[in-house]
């Protein structure tokens, strides 16, 4: 999990969760897209499973507020 921000503006903060296997990124969730994107064959399958669970996706969207926005003053 990581936060990416280009300014202290709250709208510019992005929460990213990357999933790796053998040092290769297979899937990634970004708060700007609001869904997982797969980068490998297995990552695409897993992303489709995760994206079909609305409560899991809404929890990740909430992480932007809980994890990133609360720390923007400390990190920026």
Supply the CATH number for residue 14's domain: 3.10.320.10
Q: How much is the pLDDT for 76? A: 56
Q: Is the distance from CB of 34 to CB of 57 less than 8 angstroms?
A: yes
Helix, strand, coil share of the chain (percent; to 5): 45, 30, 20
> In the chain, how many domains are there?
1
Q: For residue 17, give every residue at least 6 positions away whose Cβ sits within 8 Å of its Cβ, in sequence order, or none.
A: 1, 28, 29, 60, 63
Q: How much is the pLDDT for 51? A: 97
Q: What percent of the chain has pLDDT over 70?
A: 93
Question: What strands lie across the sheet with 35-38, from one edge to the other?
Answer: 2-5, 13-21, 24-30, 35-38
Residue 44 has what DSSP assignment? H
Domain that holds residue 7: 2-73
Q: Is the pTM of this model over 0.85?
A: no
């Amino acid at each position: 999990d990581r936060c990416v921000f280009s300014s202290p503006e709250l709208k510019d903060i992005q929460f990213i969760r990357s999933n790796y296997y053998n040092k290769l990124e297979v899937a990634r969730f970004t708060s700007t897209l609001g869904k997982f994107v797969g980068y490998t064959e297995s990552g695409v399958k897993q992303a489709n499973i995760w994206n079909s669970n609305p409560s899991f996706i809404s929890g990740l969207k909430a992480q932007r507020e809980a994890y990133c926005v609360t720390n923007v003053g400390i990190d920026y």
